[in-house]
């Protein structure tokens, strides 16, 4: 069976971007990966600077190092239900007639649990699929999943469906999906920032997954900002020692040609804003240290990706993939 990687995270943490970078990283050395989107936002197409993804698997990138391929699929719940009806009930044209009548849209709207069953089921089908030679079509399937707050319910809904439908194809399908989701070949990864709310949601989400006996993978700390002050400067900033800041600033201005009598008041004008910014910086560092400590306490593999100042374009995505591989994400 292929490996399934489910990527979740609080909104705003860069969950989709990390899922895309992971797909590139895992596709290195000639591997084939499938990147699956389930939220209908076409975020993957935007990241790879390609046209909107249809409901079919499409090659969208070649990975660095060995020429592996990244394929992508945007799962549509209505189309997935039509596939399901054809697969298990051979409805064919009758299923298409139901779509024209609006019954498919009605079914997926009034039963959000059914929607989640269809989305996870399609991804798990890709995990189990083999080619004519009996080899798995993909080495890895990466799912850009819903946010942390609902990830456990999203993944566990098949268990609930299997309990409600005691027999028949629905029961069998739900059980097959849960076998994939709870297998050793599946891992749920969490994307977070070194901020209080994302870290807390990550801690809570992992606790919920463990309680549901779903497999937890790793934590990816995204948008890590560089430390721009050394320990001595942090100490000065934290204590707000204005005289020390003024002295340091005056020396710096002199080295750059802004010292002397003509600019004598410049250092004084800059001291207070710099002290304020430096103090805010040290407070942020303290919060980040606390966040790292909490994440470390989870005892999970952890990766860090730096903040890309100009935003994430295609080049930035490849850069993130290389960094994940450098940190051993594919091992």
Task: Look at residue 28 and tell me whether its pLDDT is greater than 50.
Answer: yes
The most confident of the ranges 34-38, 54-58, 169-173, 254-258 is: 34-38
What pLDDT, on the 0 to 100 scale, is given for residue 170? Answer: 67
The candidate with the shortest Cα–Cα distance to 103, out of 75, 82, 76, 89, is: 82
Q: What is the chain's length?
A: 331
pLDDT on residue 285: 79
Lowest mean pLDDT among 231-235, 260-264, 299-303, 307-311: 260-264
Which of 114-118, 155-159, 265-269: highest mean pLDDT? 155-159
**% of residues, the chain, pLDDT over 90:** 50
Determine the Cα–Cα distance for residues 258 and 283; give it in Å rounded to an integer. 30
- Tell me what the mean pLDDT of segment 63-89 comes to: 76
61-65, 119-123, 149-153, 173-177 — most confident range: 149-153
pLDDT at 101 over 50: no
- Assess whether pLDDT exceeds 70 at residue 255: no
Question: Minimal CA–CA distance to 294: which of 208, 226, 195, 217?
Answer: 195
* pLDDT attached to residue 294: 97
pLDDT in tens, 301-314: 999 999 997 789 99
What is the structure's pLDDT at 274?
65
9 conformational bin, left if phi > 0, alpha if psi -120 to 50, beta if neither: left
The average pLDDT across 32-52 equals: 92
> Collapsing DSSP states into helix, strand and coil, what is residue 253?
helix
Structure tokens, 287:
């919060």
Kindly report the backbone phi and psi dihedral angles of residue 144, in degrees, each rounded to the nearest multiple of 5, phi listed first: -80, 95
Nearest Cα to Cα of residue 13 among 301, 223, 283, 236: 223
Residues 37/80, Cβ–Cβ less than 8 Å: no
Query: Does residue 216 have a pLDDT over 70?
Result: yes
pLDDT band at 272 (very low <50, low <70, confident <90, very high): low
Give me the mean pLDDT over the 208-235 stretch.
Answer: 85
141 strand-pairing partners: 4, 34
Residue pair 73/38 in contact by the 8 Å Cβ criterion: no
Q: Which of 137-151, 152-166, 300-314 reaches the highest mean pLDDT?
A: 137-151
Q: Which two tokens stand for residue 131?
A: 């080619």
296 CB neighbour count, 10 Å cutoff: 11
Q: Which residue has the higher pLDDT, 106 or 326?
A: 326
Let me know: does 32 contact 69? Beta carbons within 8 Å: yes
How far is the C-alpha of 170 from the C-alpha of 157, rounded, in Å? 12
Yes or no: say if 69 and 82 are a contact pair by the CB < 8 Å rule.
no
**Gap between the Cα atoms of 279 and 289, Å rounded:** 15
Please tell me which of 36-45, 59-68, 267-276, 291-300 the model is most confident about, judged by mean pLDDT. Answer: 291-300
Whether 165 shows a pLDDT value over 60: the answer reads: no
Average pLDDT over residues 147-160: 88
Q: Inform me whether the pLDDT recorded for 263 exceeds 80.
A: no
Taken in order 279, 294, 184, 331, is the CA torsion positive or negative?
A: positive
Q: How far is CA 120 from CA 6, 27, 105, 230, 257, in A?
A: 10, 22, 18, 47, 63
Question: Is residue 265 scored above 60 in pLDDT?
Answer: no
Distance of alpha carbon 41 from alpha carbon 62, whole angstroms: 23
For tokens 């566990």, what's the residue? Answer: 156
> If we measure between CA atoms, which residue out of 9, 19, 6, 8 comes closest to residue 312?
19
Q: How confident is the model at residue 1 (pLDDT cuts 50, 70, 90)?
A: confident
CB 169 within 8 A of CB 197: no
Place of tokens 């394929």: 71
- Give me the percent of the chain exceeding a pLDDT of 70: 70
Q: Is the pLDDT higher at 318 or at 261?
A: 318
Question: Which DSSP string do the residues of 114-143 spell out, in sequence order?
Answer: HHHHHHHHHHHHHHH-B-TTS-BS-SEEEE
């Amino acid at each position: 069976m292929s490996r399934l990687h489910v990527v979740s995270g609080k909104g705003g943490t860069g969950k989709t971007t990390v899922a895309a970078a992971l797909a590139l990283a895992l596709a290195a050395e000639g591997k084939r990966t499938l990147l699956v989107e389930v939220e209908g936002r076409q975020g993957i197409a935007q990241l790879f600077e390609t046209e909107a993804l249809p409901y079919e698997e499409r090659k969208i990138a070649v990975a660095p190092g060995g020429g592996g391929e990244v394929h992508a699929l945007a799962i549509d719940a209505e189309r997935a239900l039509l596939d399901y009806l054809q697969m298990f009930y051979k409805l064919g044209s009758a299923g298409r007639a139901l779509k024209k009548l609006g019954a498919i849209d009605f079914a997926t709207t009034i039963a959000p649990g059914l929607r989640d069953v269809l989305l996870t089921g399609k991804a798990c089908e890709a995990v189990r699929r083999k080619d004519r030679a009996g080899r798995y079509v993909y080495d890895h399937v990466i799912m850009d999943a819903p946010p942390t707050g609902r990830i456990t319910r999203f993944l566990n809904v098949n268990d609930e469906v299997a309990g409600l439908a005691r027999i028949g194809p629905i029961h069998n399908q739900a059980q097959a999906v849960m076998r994939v989701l709870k297998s050793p070949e599946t891992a749920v990864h969490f994307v977070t920032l070194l901020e209080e709310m994302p870290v807390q949601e990550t801690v809570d989400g992992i606790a919920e997954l463990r309680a549901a006996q779903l497999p937890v993978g790793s934590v990816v700390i995204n948008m890590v900002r560089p430390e721009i002050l050394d320990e001595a400067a942090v100490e000065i900033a934290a204590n707000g020692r204005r005289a020390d800041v003024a002295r340091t600033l005056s020396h710096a201005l002199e080295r750059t040609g802004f010292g002397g009598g003509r600019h004598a008041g410049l250092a004084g004008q800059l001291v207070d804003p710099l002290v304020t910014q430096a103090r805010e910086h040290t407070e942020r560092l303290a919060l980040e240290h606390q966040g790292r400590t909490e994440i470390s306490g989870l005892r999970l593999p952890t990766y860090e990706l730096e903040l890309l100042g100009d935003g994430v374009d295609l080049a930035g995505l490849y850069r993130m993939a290389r960094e994940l591989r450098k940190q051993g994400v594919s091992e």
